[in-house]
Structure 1
Amino acid sequence: MKITKVDVKTVPISSPIRNAYIDFSKMTASAIAITTDVIKDGKPVVGYGFNSNGRYAPTALLNERFIPRLLEADAKDIVTDDGTNFDPHKIHAIIMANEKPGGHGERTVAVGVIDMAIWDAVAKIEGKPLYQLLAEKYGNGEVDEQVYIYAAGGYYFPDKGLKELQDEMKGYLALGYKDVKMKVGGASLKEDLKRIEAVLDILPQGSGLMVDANGRFNLEYAIEFGEKIKDYELIWYEEAGDPLDFHLQAELSKRYPHAIATGENLFSLQDATNLIRYAGMNPEKDFLQFDCALSYGLVEYVRILDMLKEHGWSSRRCIPHGGHQMSLNIAAGLALHGNESYPGVFEPFGGFADNYAVENGYVKLPDAPGIGFEEKSDLYNLLLSIGK
């Protein structure tokens, strides 16, 4: 059992939207195809992977460091002890060899791309959906048959007013979403409050709103903003300040009475551990948004879940960033709270399988081997083009 070929390319996921910090007009992603010598249905098993939105394509790192390490490894060193499948944990150790700890940078994204493709291949070789494989390997074998998802939107567009913002959110509700999220921090406090109130005005009873500042605020402004929005009773107030400013997070947690969410820009076990140790997060009400596709992959994510359990956190407080099928599989298989979704944005990587509609804020997963990319036609067509 061996890997016979690895192909990778950079693809655009550009969009005219912006949040409080960046615009996405030149955003890219790396897409990878790992071909094995395992034959299923008369064809070699191929595992596919890519990185989540918000970080640029790490293609150079993949080509210069991580793919060569994978291809140079002895075949026996990348498979399970019984030789029946590839071992993601062994592969992780091999591609991270000769890497110093700390200063994680963009390598976390590159390793996450490979990790996703390896898990896709592993589940296909097992002939199981990834979510089922994860439930059996790390849980009690039971999966969530449907996963809670919310619609992340409310970006700043040129010439986008309050009515257009309301129409956008109404569109998400019409698609079957119950809860929605919007960006803040890219306008004045006065304007952002008007935007929040405009969305709350059109939400029906039973629906809720989250706000996301994308790390824009300093401590003083984060606290002021929290004071202004506390009576709205939002589902959560997300990433008010720099993701590594645990002091800011801790001080905000003392003052803001409702749920806080953060973690999408923390890309390692150690950074996640420091968040839990020092940021004043509350395991009874707050949410953690680590995205395995940006943070060394599922191998690291499992380590993070183990750490959270040791610190008294339930996996149900985790709701990954990214809005893609990998995170959806993890949510279903590892008993997470749910998953993010970006309706109509960051395509074809965002979104889930074709013909699985969102119903009252939940979505089901296909019973297909692997992550299920083959069930999302526009994405699968792109993945098939890798290496051509």
Structure 2
Amino acid sequence: MQIKSVEVKAVRIPMSGQQRNARRTWTHKPMLFCFVTAEDGTVGVGEGWTSYASTAALQATIEDDVAPLVVGRTLEEARDLNARVRDACVMSGRYGILAVALSAVEMALWDIRARQEGVPLWQLLGGTSAEVPVYASGGLYAPDKTPERLGEELVSYVQRGHRRVKIKVGGADHDTDVARVAASRAAIGPDVDLYVDAHYTKDEEAAARFADALVPHAVGWFEAPIIPDDWKGHDRLAARAPIPLCGNETLPWRTSFARLAEAGVGYLMPDVSACGGVEETLAVGNIAQEAGAELTLHSSSSAVLFLASLHVAAAHPAAHSVEFHMMHNWFYDLAGLDAVEVVEGRLRIPDRPGLGLDPHALAAALEAPMRGVGEESPVLKHG
């Protein structure tokens, strides 16, 4: 059965500008979706990572460079899409954006395959359980967010069933961030896992100093401490740091994560919408398993990415967790995720074919007026 068309839709949702991480104040949220249609009318949807870049550039890359490798080919023939796109990188040098473009299209192809089989994607990928461990990702900076209020925020996540939480660091001075970590641990108690994410803001010495300061607060991982492709820096920091490192969501291809595993990074964190797609993420899981590391999936966008991450995690034995973002959780209502419960830190994937989100409903929602948001919320609706 041939692929009939590839269509790209981008959206830019206004936000209040009150929340920020160490690198960005969230005044808007850009997202890009890829709709692939098979000749029998089955539509699959995928998402490409665009949070810090132009959606126009990614759209052009999908339409001009990736779609021609898919349209007119069968689903079986399209299985070599990864190799064909990587071959294109050899001459173009556009490794990053081509990996994201591939991710969006390949995700949609997997959605089609599972829909045509009438099963959830995790089953098609060989998973044995629909229950996936997740963690509540919040703890952003805001003008009125004192350490005490940060602690209250995290407690609210624990009250919703989460057993793991993550906060942002790197957006304040060393002492202020350590105080935020201390307040977080004091609020949630000793039995909830706590992670921190620095968004690549520290140099090697500052990262080592901060890692030492995390030890009294039983932090489970130190995410994105230094720039993502500083391989030798990761070698040295992983050897020095008294807690595991985690990274790096923006890296393309399994080879990047193999290098992190070689450095001794304890948690490999690909993003299904950025690293090359479903198969590439599963390959990163294999690398983690062989290295004695764990796989944790980055997800801070729409229900499309979150669902893809859940399905991949459900299919891989090395999966430690999936990020359940408390602010970037767009269109979750379209997939029934606004009603899903987290029980003892685990979420059950809704029992629907494919990824579990109706592409036609999403396409219609993208044409509707978007409301902005400014505060963390358990689930945000699209309109």
Between 1:1-10 and 1:55-64, the stretch displaced more is 55-64
Give the structure-2-normalised TM-score: 0.85
| Residue in structure 1 matched with residue 296 of structure 2 by the alignment | 319
Partner of 2:206: 221
Q: In the alignment, which residue of structure 2 is the partner of 1:299? A: 279
Q: Measured at CA, do residues 343 and 23 of structure 1 come closer, stay the same or move farther in structure 2, by a change above 3 Å?
A: same
Kept in 1: contact 2:89–2:95 (CA 8 A): no
**Cα drift, residue 371 of structure 1:** 0.7
CA distance in structure 2 between the aligned counterparts of 1:120 and 1:146, rounded to whole angstroms: 19
- 1:152 paired residue number: 137
Matches within 5 A, 1:24-39: 24-38=26-40
TM-score normalised to the size of structure 1?
A: 0.84
Q: 2:110 aligns with which of 119, 122, 125?
A: 119
1:4 maps to amino acid: K
State the distance in 2 between where 1:272 and 1:25 align.
31
Q: Which of these residues, 361, 376, 380, is aligned with residue 381 of structure 1?
A: 361
CA distance in 1, matches of 2:249, 2:135: 16
Would the aligned equivalents of 1:8 and 1:386 in 2 still touch at CA under 8 Å? no
Q: What secondary structure does 2:183 align onto?
A: helix
Per the alignment, in what secondary structure is the counterpart of residue 98 of structure 1?
helix
CA shift for structure 1 position 55: 4.2
Q: Measured at CA, do residues 114 and 267 of structure 1 come closer, stay the same or move farther in structure 2, by a change above 3 Å?
A: same
Alignment match, 2:311: 329
SS at match of 2:291: coil
Paired residue secondary structure (2:210): helix
Shift in Å, 1:273: 2.0
Residue in structure 2 matched with residue 110 of structure 1 by the alignment: 101
Distance 2:252 2:14 in 1: 23
Task: Note closer, same or farther for the CA distance 1:144–1:338 as it changes in structure 2 (3 Å cut).
Answer: farther
Question: Which segments of 5 or more consecutive residues in structure 1 lack a partner in the other structure?
Answer: 39-43, 81-86, 136-141
Within 5 A, what are the aligned runs for 1:14-25?
15=15, 16=17, 17-25=19-27
Post-superposition shift, 1:268? 1.2
Deviation at 1:95, TM superposition (A): 4.8
Partner secondary structure for residue 222 of structure 1: helix
SS of equivalent residue, structure 1 residue 21: coil
Q: Is the 8 A contact 1:176 1:357 kept in 2?
A: yes
1:79, 1:90 within 8 Å by CA — same for their partners in 2? no
Task: Give the conservation status (yes or no) of the 8 Å contact 1:13–1:347.
Answer: no
Distance in 2, matches of 1:26 and 1:231, equals 36
2:44 matches 1:47: yes
SS, match of residue 235 in structure 1: strand
Give the 5 Å matches for 1:360-379. 360-374=344-358
Task: Supply the distance in 1 between the matched residues of 2:119 and 2:170 (Cα, whole angstroms).
Answer: 43
- Partner Cα distance (2:20, 2:332) in 1: 18
CA-to-partner distance for each residue in 1:273-332, whole Å, 9 max, x for gaps?
22223x233xxxx211111211111132233334445x4336xx1011015110000001
Matching residue of 1:210: 195
**Distance in structure 1 (CA, Å) of the matches to 2:85 and 2:258:** 23
Give 1:92's aligned residue. Answer: 82
Deviation at 1:177, TM superposition (A): 1.0
User: Structure 1 residues 53-62 or 241-250, which shifts more?
Assistant: 53-62
1:341 aligns with 2:324: yes
Residues 334-380 of structure 1, C-alpha deviation per residue, up to 9 Å, x if partnerless? 22112111024241269973432111211001221101113xxxx86
Structure 1 residues 107 and 14, CA gap change in structure 2 (3 angstroms): farther
The 1:116/1:329 distance shift into structure 2, 3 A limit, reads same
Q: Which amino acid aligns with 2:295?
A: C
- Check the 8 A contact 2:35/2:43 in 1, yes or no: yes
Tell me, in whole angstroms, the C-alpha distance in 2 between the residues paired with 1:346 and 1:45.
26
Structure 2: runs of 5 or more not aligned: 301-305, 369-383
Q: Residue type matched to 2:62 in 1?
A: L
Give the secondary structure class of the aligned counterpart of 2:167: strand
Following superposition, the deviation at residue 145 of structure 1 comes to 3.2
Give percent identity, aligned residues only: 27
Distance in 2, Cα, partners of 1:161 & 1:360:
28
> RMSD in angstroms over aligned alpha carbons?
2.5
Aligned partners of 2:14, 2:87: CA distance in 1, in Å?
Answer: 33
Measure, in 1, the Cα distance between the counterparts of 2:34 and 2:367. Answer: 9
Once the two structures are TM-superposed, the CA of residue 27 in structure 1 deviates from its matched residue by: 3.5
1:48-197 matches, cutoff 5 A: 48-52=45-49, 54-56=51-53, 57=55, 58-71=58-71, 74-75=72-73, 78-80=74-76, 88-96=78-86, 98-100=88-90, 104-135=95-126, 142-197=127-182
Distance in 2 (alpha carbons) for counterparts of 1:12 and 1:254: 41
